[in-house]
Amino acid sequence: MKYSYLILAAGVYLPFSSTNAEAYKTNSEKASYVFGYEMAGRLGQMNIDVDMAAFLHGVKDQLDKKGMLFTDQERMAIMDAFRADQDEKTHQRSLASEDEGKKFLLENGKKEGVISLPTGLQYKVLKEGDGPMPGGLDKVKVHYEGKLVDGTEFDSSYKRGEPITFPVSRVIPGWTQGLKMMKVGSKWQLFIPPHLGYGKSGAGNVIPGNAVLIFQLELLGIEDK
């Protein structure tokens, strides 16, 4: 297999790349770039720290059809240790998130305009609509933006340029509670404690366990109403 390489530290080689899309002429070259980009994206979503030199060394050996540097027994031991390390990092992140979330909700509940409910949900009315309020069996159309308490944005229908439609009863409890109190045309901020969000498990590697979620939620309409 032929490569064009740049030499990196530790004798590892990196295929030559360019920030210019026109540098890739054939569809195979373009697809190869897409494969690499998307693979890196999946690793990022899994919140895995990758040593780039070692990673590329493994890729090169696989493409060159060389045997792995480690035996099967060593490989299994390495991956078991890695998973244990990742689990511990996830646990520590969850503990830190829980502490941060409790402090946030305590201070946020004192702010002007923020209303705290007995369930633990907090909300602030940014704009009050004058339409009907949905029930638990209704489907609604909304625009939304979701952030963690540190400001990290994890989702946004605004950025996708398209609202979503879903049954009121088939989302996280914090959304269900909030939507049932909103009138069509309203825009609220919802401050959702973990037990009304994704709980101790979180969601993927983007939302940690015990995370407080901050949503800007805009109720655009009720389906068939």
Average pLDDT over the chain, rounded to an integer: 85
pLDDT tens profile 8-56: 433 444 455 556 777 788 888 888 888 888 888 777 766 677 788 888 8
158 falls within a domain:
yes
Is the whole model's pTM more than 0.75, yes or no?
no
Considering the candidates 123, 144, 191, 222, report the single residue annotated as catalytic: 144
Told to judge if 13 belongs to the known catalytic residues of this protein, a careful annotator would answer: no
Considering the candidates 13, 55, 154, 166, report the single residue annotated as catalytic: 154
Looking at the DSSP bridge assignments, the partners of residue 14 are: 6
Half-sphere exposure of residue 183, counting CA atoms within 13 Å on the CB side? 8
Whether 132 and 59 map to the same domain: the answer is: no
Whether 118 and 58 map to the same domain: the answer is: no
102 falls within a domain:
no
pLDDT tens profile 92-139: 777 777 888 899 999 999 999 999 999 999 999 999 999 999 998 999
Told to judge if 144 belongs to the known catalytic residues of this protein, a careful annotator would answer: yes
Half-sphere exposure of residue 222, counting CA atoms within 13 Å on the CB side? 18
pLDDT beyond 90 at 202: no
Whether 135 and 38 map to the same domain: the answer is: no
175 falls within a domain:
yes
pLDDT beyond 70 at 218: yes
Q: Domain of 185: which CATH number?
A: 3.10.50.40
Q: What 3-state DSSP class applies to 13?
A: strand
132 falls within a domain:
yes
Q: How many residues does the chain have?
A: 225
Whether 51 and 125 map to the same domain: the answer is: no
Q: Considering its fold, how many domains does the chain have in total?
A: 2
Contacts of 60 (CB under 8 A, 6+ apart): 3, 12, 13
Told to judge if 80 belongs to the known catalytic residues of this protein, a careful annotator would answer: no
Rg value, the chain, Cα: 24
pLDDT tens profile 156-183: 999 999 999 999 999 999 999 999 999 9
Considering the candidates 104, 123, 215, 222, report the single residue annotated as catalytic: 215
Considering the candidates 13, 138, 155, 166, report the single residue annotated as catalytic: 155
Told to judge if 154 belongs to the known catalytic residues of this protein, a careful annotator would answer: yes
82 falls within a domain:
no
